[in-house]
A and B are shown apart, each in its own frame.
Chain A
Amino acid sequence: MSDLLQVKDLETQFRTREGNVHAVNGVSFNLKEGETLGIVGESGCGKTVSMMSLLGLIPVPPGKVVAGEARFEGKDLLKLSNEELRHIRGAKISVVFQDPMTSFNPVLTIGKQTAEPYQIHHNAGKAEAYERAVKYLELVGIPNAKERMNDYPHQFSGGMRQRVMIAMGLICEPQILIADEPTTALDVTIQAQIIELMKKLRDELGMAIIWITHDLGIIAGLAHRVNVMYGGYIVETAPVKSLYKEPQHPYTLGLLGSLPRMDEMSYRRLVSIDGLPPTLLEKPTYCPFEPRCKYAVEKCRYSNPQLSQVEGEDHYVACWVNPKTGKEY
């Protein structure tokens, strides 16, 4: 399958009172047609900012995309004007945000808000957009969608609001859907509903998905490929099975080890990662995970490793040390 989106050396910074925050430090990845790419990592590692940078959605100032390239349909997204980006956002690439309540306008009806992207991007009349909104609300499983078009967001439960957000993201049948922790605030039974729904829609509509989460469980069942982020870098990227079976980066190993598993019959002490995530106030000339890493060697303190291929095809890791042997590659 061909590459739909190619991101290269993306760097984004924020000016703050404490200094420049190096939120994204040279992120490169490709997204294939129809592929679901998972992006995992803990709070503040740059998951949201890296994606929002692509769509011109970070606040400028304090934010600034300082370097990089993002090829989509022959154009570099990072070079487009706001006007040009507006035609892409919501139409060809759409985003479903984490918190559906703050993403809705509380005084507009669900119907109006769902229909809006279609009206804007397809120059559609009210009636046509309305009909399409009903169709997409039905598609995401809102019962009696037609009758509920005139309801307001507060009349919907959290799970239903998240469904409406997805309907809004899908109504223009985008090629790429970016889902930023769309189920994090939801209960696990509702989360399971939404994930089942997304899998079904993905297969029906053939779109590519970028799914941002800190939950390694969700990604295991959903993604084809996973990027693990730490401190503004992608530190490991691999096909999903390869990543879980043969994790290579000490951070990935730590994350997987810190999760309890439901199928363990005997007690196992959780592996914890000591120390704290980086402050991002400098762009490190060393490995960003070094202060917390059990495998660190001398070299890690003065040289920041780049992603390079290991273990099987298509598996890349940014680390000097092979954790299996404890020795440098």
Chain B
Amino acid sequence: MAEKEVLLKVEDLYKHFPIRKGLFSGSREKVHAVDGISFEIYQGETLGLVGESGCGKSTTGRTILQLYRPTSGSVFFEGEDLAKLKGEALRKKRRYVQMIFQDPYASLNPRMTVGQIIGEPMEIHNTYKGAEQLRRVEELLELVGLNPAFINRYPHEFSGGQRQRIGVARALALQPKLIVCDEPISALDVSIQAQVVNLLEDLQEELGLTYLFIAHDLSMVRHISDRVAVMYLGIIVELADRNELYATPIHPYTKALLSAVPFPDPFIEENRKRIILEGDVPSPVNPPSGCRFRTRCQYAKEICAEEKPEFREVLPGHYAACHFSDELK
């Protein structure tokens, strides 16, 4: 493979949310939403980010964009640490990193027309004005497969899939390089999901975009991603090329997660053996000592409660955080 250029480099990123219990209690408790993660995203690739509800996927995305400021750690975008930038300098850089949200309705201002919604970032960043802006909005509408004649309509006049297209058009308004897609299709019907995924793929090819694609639908993540990272309780437990991750997962959590996904094929389902995990995900306020997965792991040994497993490269390009990676690979 040719030398890959790193577009985004996340280093030792933490994001904790303090919990305010009583008005006067000086509680030190906090949600360990993102608890020390490191990864890179290469120029032009799609990195999938999967994991169960509450494991920190959205927080990761938002912290990359500096919508949440990190508790500690760095987010290098084109070599510059966004976590260290402020004000105008941050705004200038941030236009190249955009986000698409899960709920295509809640994320669009109901009192603005489609034209205003897509034009807004151009206003803020002073890129296009007046007639030029109008032309650019029409261009974007066409690009995402919406009729430019809809420019004066309001979000409620569109279907879910169309609203998600508006969200995509707005994210594209400033010619971004990286788009964080936070569950962009979860709220859509199956028949509409494929439309949006195909659109994202087409745009990537046309515009050379890079995606961080967050989702809990593991089949869709596999479809759209080049590499996939698996999160559990605030940390990344495994990261690899998507074919390798799905065919030969190393981490016991990844194995269980993949075995839980139902196949749309009764002939395969008939003979499938599942790894059924016991119990629930522990609270991110007091994550388990050592390995976070040990309370549900069938391979757990004493060391797993005592020492945090290192997130290391077990096979070329294949990272996992488990004390027994070498035995399990």
Contact = CB atoms under 8 A, between A and B. Distances in A.
B256 A189 contact: yes
Interface string A263-292: 111000111111011000000000000000
B219 A262 contact: yes
Interface string B268-299: 11101010110111000000000000000000
A187 B190 CA distance: 18
Interface stretch (B20-28, B99-107, B192-200, B307-315): B192-200
B260 A244 contact: no
Contact of B280 (A157, A254, A256, A259): A157
Contacts, number: 123
A258 B190 contact: yes
Contacts of A191: 260, 262
B220 interface: yes
B62 interface: no
B301 interface: no
Contacts of B279: 143
A215 B262 contact: yes
B159 to A, nearest CB: 5
Interface string B31-62: 00000000000000000000011000000000
Contacts of B189: 42-43, 214, 277
B71 interface: no
A10 to B, nearest CB: 23
Contacts of A277: 189, 191
A42 B246 CA distance: 28
A220 B269 contact: yes
B264 A188 contact: no
Q: Interface size for chain B: under 10, 10 to 19, 20 to 34, or 35 or more residues?
A: 35 or more
B263 interface: yes
B3 interface: no
Given A221-B269, A258-B193, A262-B219, A159 B264 contact: no
B262 A218 contact: yes
B200 to A, nearest CB: 11
A156 to B, nearest CB: 10
A195 B191 CA distance: 24
Contact of B266 (A159, A190, A215, A240): A240
Contacts of B127: none
A307 B127 CA distance: 57
Contacts of B192: 272-273
Given A258-B191, A276-B159, A220 B197 contact: no
Nearest to B258: A262
Contact of B198 (A43, A196, A263, A270): A270
A160 B161 CA distance: 32
Nearest to B278: A193
B219 A259 contact: yes
The secondary-structure label for the interface of chain B is helix
B261 A217 contact: yes
Given A256-B264, A263-B263, A214 B243 contact: no
A257 to B, nearest CB: 8
Contacts of B263: 217, 220-221, 261-263
A188 B218 contact: yes
Nearest to A258: B194
A143 B280 CA distance: 11
A241 interface: yes
B225 to A, nearest CB: 11
B262 A220 contact: yes
A217 B52 contact: no
B46 to A, nearest CB: 12
Among B197, B222, B246, B264, the one with the most A-chain Cβ atoms within 10 Å of its Cβ is B264
B216 interface: yes
Contacts of A273: 191-192, 194-195
Contact of A262 (B161, B194, B261, B266): B261
Contact of A214 (B190, B195, B201, B280): B190
Contacts of A52: none
A187 B218 contact: no
Contacts of A188: 52, 216, 218, 257, 260-261
Interface of A: 42-43, 143, 157, 159-160, 187-193, 195-196, 214-218, 220-221, 240-241, 244-245, 254-265, 269-274, 276-277
Given A189-B277, A196-B276, 9 more contacts: A188-B260, A192-B260, A192-B277, A220-B262, A244-B264, A256-B264, A262-B261, A270-B223, A273-B191
12 contacts: A42-B189, A192-B262, A195-B262, A217-B263, A221-B263, A221-B272, A244-B266, A260-B219, A262-B218, A262-B263, A270-B194, A272-B191
In the A-B complex, the 7 residue pairs with the closest CB atoms: A221-B269, A217-B262, A260-B223, A192-B260, A272-B194, A258-B194, A273-B191
